[in-house]
Amino acid sequence: MTDMQHITQRIDDATIEAFHNDGAVVIRGLFTADRLAALAEGIEHNLQHPSPRAKVASRADDPGWFFEDFCNWQENDAYRRFIFDSGIGAVAAQLMQSQTARLYHDHLLVKEPGTRQRTPWHQDQPYYNVDGHQNVSMWLPVDPVSREATLEFVAGSHLGPWLMPRTFMDNEAKWFPEGTLDDLPDIEADRERYRIIGWALEPGDAVFFNMLTLHASGGVEGKRRRRAFSVRFLGDDATHAPRGWTTSPPFPGLDRELPAGAPMEHPLFPLLYPPS
């Protein structure tokens, strides 16, 4: 059985329905131990050789360390093999109900033991340079993740509206100008008002969510480490939406090659499904 056959067999109609209704779903045991071990080697290489896009997303007085890096699939062999050889593009296409699945970008997120820094509630798509609703992000831990440290989602929030993206530590509106989008409600102050979903995870489990689904996560407790690899995918209706500011991640010069409204057909965003 090929990798693609193995992982696509894990997707049934109930999983697809949950993704479209809630905007987030967990798929258990999606990847083999060998596939995860190879990915973990790539993560460690990334930590030792960060790209110019890397950043530390925790404060200097945090007893832990929150590290992020973006768009490394072209330089990191383990990332490239995972993205192109695991069959994950077929899973993304099934969940999006799209004829195609295109890579948007990869994203490494590592919270070392004792990290207090939360990832605050936010949507991903307002930070990006893409329009369209057929999209999906995969969040895959290579370490066990407790319910307290996992990603949480507000079920149904992917149906909109777009909400103001802000910097995580300083709460600044660096993307859309102030007042152009509604601000996020204070979800933590009134959690009972929302249907919040999330799952404790074991290595091999993966969470998939729409780029507009509100999500957040806590720090990591004790001696537990949380290394997670995220891959974002675009479907049939995705189009380029150049912004008048630097997106996160940035794609400098792309607006000179892809006009507004154009399909995301560019070497930076290779087609993963159907395989060429």
pLDDT in the model for residue 4? 61
Start-to-end CA distance of the chain, whole Å, equals 19
CA distance 166 to 147: 25
**Going by C-beta distance under 8 Å and a sequence separation of 6 or more, which residues neighbour residue 144?**
200, 201, 202, 203, 224
The token pair that represents 191 in the structure block: 């959690």
**Long-range contacts of residues 239-243, Cβ cutoff 8 Å, at least 24 apart:** 239/130, 239/131, 239/132, 239/263, 239/264, 240/129, 240/130, 240/131, 240/264, 241/128, 241/129, 241/130, 241/131, 242/129, 243/129, 243/175
Q: Cα–Cα distance between 16 and 212 in angstroms, integer?
A: 17
| pLDDT at 5 (0 to 100) | 63
Taking only Cα atoms into account, the Rg of the chain, rounded to an integer number of angstroms, comes to 18
How far is the C-alpha of 79 from the C-alpha of 41, rounded, in Å? 9
Tell me the C-alpha distance between 125 and 101, whole Å: 17
Both structure tokens of 226: 């949380």
- Rounded to 5 degrees, φ, ψ at 218 are -90, -175
* Per-residue pLDDT reduced to its tens digit, 240-275: 999 999 999 999 999 999 999 999 999 999 999 998
Residues 132-160 pLDDT 10s: 999 999 999 999 999 999 999 999 999 99
220: closest CA among 106, 122, 70, 109?
109
Q: Are 184 and 76 in contact (CB under 8 A)?
A: no
Within the chain, which residues score under 70 in pLDDT? 1-6
